[in-house]
Chain A
Amino acid sequence: MTAAAQTKAEFDGTKQRMDPVLVGLWISLVLVALIWVAPFVFMIFTSLKTNEAVMATGAFTPPPTYAWENYTEAWGRGRFDVTFFNSAIIAIIKVPLGLAISAMGAYALARMEIAWGKVILVVILFGTMIPFQVMLAPLFTLVNSFDLIDTYPGIILPYIAFGVPYQVFILHGFFRNVPKELSEAAMIDGASHFTIFRRIFLPVSLPVLAALFILDFVATWNEFAMALVLLQNQNMWTLPLGLMSFQGQFSNDYGQLNAAIVMTVLPATIVYLMFQRYFVSGLTSGAVKE
């Protein structure tokens, strides 16, 4: 790390003066964190209770008996084997692909003279403001006209389309701050923009890309409304659609419902925990001004 960061570390922690303000701060942060985590605890406990136990016991009472069958039944009822597979395929394809497309576009807009560049950028930023829930019907008609309903491309392409705006927004800001000297040197050597992009910008922006990767993975994993409309065939359903099985007309099996939610949330949590160290440093580079 830089010298500045080192000084900071010295300044904040290692003076070990047991600053009472810091202690107080720590205590309150921990308390609030416990409250923050409470719904999760609640969810996990409920997922392990039978429905009678849910009614009979308090929210934070640990389950009297561990109803593991909630998980197995939820897995079957929600057809998790199928939905899990679909969600995984869609996320694994869409997230890197979308990120690549956005990065290329952001680079072009930030570092190259594109005709109407400013206008294009504004139009793309406009996309961050669209509440897509109201566009579901036209979107369906459009995808249907390409005969792509119930297909992976049919849902991946709209996902990419709605991911482009905010990814370009963040990457554009970041790319603009990359020192011009870096690319100028390469250009004088006759490198094409492709090479500059690949050899210089991508490596430099790895942390931002990692951060966006997590954000996008989670968003794609959890997406519901578009999937509902674009995936009619239940063999193509994604995980959130599978959760629908627990929201039937009079459904009230809370134990299974919570088990299903826990299983849905787990993969996204794992991805997050794996990549989280890139997160803070990654977004740093996007927002920093010297």
Chain B
Amino acid sequence: MTMNRTILSAAIGALLASCAGIGLASAQEITVWTLNFSNKQANEAMDKIATDFQAANPGATVTVVRRGTDDHKTALRVAAGSDKGPDIYFSWAGLGLGGEYVKAGLSAPLDKYYTEYKWSDRLVPAAASFADLYPGGKNGVPYTFKGEAVYYNKKAFEKAGIAEEPKTYDELLAAAEKLKAAGIPAFTFGGKVNWHVMRLMDVILETKCGAEKHDKLMKMELKWTDEACATESFAEMEKWAKNYILAPFMGIDQTQSFNLFIAGRAAMMLEGDWLVGTLTTNNANLDDYAIFPFPTGTNRLYGFAEYLYVSSKSQNPDLAAKFLEYFTSDAVQQETVGMFATTSPNKNVKYENLPAISQEWLEVFKTYTEVYMNGDQAFPLDVTTEYFRVINDVVAGNIPPAEASKQLQTFIDGRS
């Protein structure tokens, strides 16, 4: 009888294995791997686009798969070794994150589609520029183009007697002092998710080092120990953390930080244009908030691009490209305006009936033509991990700023 049981289990196993064969992708099927955005509008909009595309292209199926940020990265990495991956995948366009996949040959160059569909004509130049970051052709198509700036609670500013938006770094420091005097912490951050606090470091680096040196430091062409502005920036971080950030913040994540912001516990947040969508989803009153770009003194906007790439392993690249064509088309972008991000990478989109805060974002995007990226998109992954660690240590008051530069540089030097 035990024998029979063994045979039975083997039979079931074989049956299941054969069932696996059913459900292979049909010739006209593509999968899109993307993130699960908390901005629900983004998720719903993507689903609708998929449905509409299927309606317009009978026989084609588009499946959208969503994961959390880290899980998405893991899944992509793991799928790289097989042919079970997606046809289209979402990724940040910078070197540290998206670049790895391109360099590993996971992205199919889309030059012929750019020519065929004339994408360059319809895309905002700054947004489209990220496709040219890597040699070998044009990679990916802009999904969103995001800017980051300082959101502030108007009432908090009023209470502290701040009449105008700070235009220089020193004015910002002065404003923080005024807020402190009025008993309001200036900023709120979620320290647990390292990239949140890192944003402050990025903007301070831009302020203290200027555009060129900042870029060179991120490319590791200059030494962090040699450049005084690097240590200065760490020192500024220490100052902000000690005096002007709502504490305790090291143990909370960005969503907890956001909840504190809309509860009025802090005056400002350094966030991206997507926060408008998140504010809306959380029923916050948009008129209570406004933005101003972090006053770095350079003419660059803090921002990054998110792209949709076609996998080089896709069995249906033409269909995938067609989907991207549909996604970036004037009609679809006009219909979904404001849902993925404040602005569309399509330059033909018209904006109407925007809340005041979104208007401000439009102005910002019109003003700036150059962009500097978030640190974790510029650095390779292992350096990013170390970067996070020293920033957190400085901000927690565990190491002095000079030590932070030293440890970071030691790590960079020690890489093979």
Contact = CB atoms under 8 A, between A and B. Distances in A.
Interface string B78-107: 110110110000000000000000000000
Contact of B69 (A151, A198, A249): A249
Contacts of A153: 13, 16-17, 20
B84 A150 contact: yes
B283 A52 contact: yes
A251 B20 contact: no
Interface in A129-182: 136-137, 140-141, 144, 147-154
Contacts of A233: 65, 84
A140 B82 CA distance: 9
B36 A228 contact: no
Contacts of B255: 250-252
A194 B82 contact: no
A228 B74 contact: yes
Interface residues of A, number: 38
Contacts of A51: 282
A229 interface: yes
Quick one: which of A136, A149, A249 has the most chain B CB within 10 A? A249
Contacts of B19: 151-152
Interface stretch (B1-9, B211-219, B307-315): B1-9
A91 to B, nearest CB: 14
A234 B65 contact: yes
B258 interface: yes
B20 A148 contact: yes
Interface in A32-74: 51-52, 55
Interface in A177-223: 194, 197-198
B376 to A, nearest CB: 14
B17 A252 contact: no
Please tell me the size bucket of the interface on B.
Answer: 35 or more
Contact of B254 (A194, A229, A247, A250): A250
Contacts of A122: none
B2 A249 contact: no
B258 A232 contact: no
A152 B37 contact: no
B38 interface: yes
B239 interface: no
Contacts of A273: none
B324 to A, nearest CB: 21
Given A144-B81, A194-B2, A198-B2, A252 B71 contact: no
A284 B35 CA distance: 48
Contacts of B75: 228-229, 232
Given A153-B13, A198-B1, A249 B35 contact: yes
Contacts of A100: 5, 9
Contacts of A152: 16, 19-20
A271 interface: no
B107 to A, nearest CB: 18
B82 A144 contact: yes
B12 interface: yes
B389 to A, nearest CB: 21
B23 to A, nearest CB: 8
A4 B313 CA distance: 70
Interface string B154-168: 000000000000000
Interface string A240-259: 00001101111111000000
B249 to A, nearest CB: 16
A245 B12 CA distance: 32
Contacts of B71: 228, 244
A163 to B, nearest CB: 15
B346 to A, nearest CB: 23
Nearest to A234: B65
A141 B259 contact: no
Nearest to A225: B74
A93 B16 CA distance: 11
B28 interface: no
B278 interface: yes
B36 A140 contact: no
A154 B65 CA distance: 20
Given A100-B5, A234-B65, A248-B68, 5 more contacts: A152-B20, A154-B20, A198-B2, A250-B274, A251-B255
Interface of B: 1-3, 5, 9, 12-13, 16-17, 19-20, 23, 35-39, 63, 65-69, 71, 74-75, 78-79, 81-82, 84-85, 254-256, 258-259, 263, 274, 278, 282-283
30 contacts: A93-B12, A144-B84, A147-B20, A148-B17, A149-B82, A150-B84, A151-B16, A151-B17, A151-B19, A152-B16, A153-B13, A194-B2, A228-B74, A228-B75, A229-B75, A233-B84, A235-B23, A244-B67, A248-B37, A248-B38, A249-B35, A249-B68, A250-B37, A250-B39, A250-B258, A250-B274, A250-B278, A251-B68, A252-B38, A252-B282
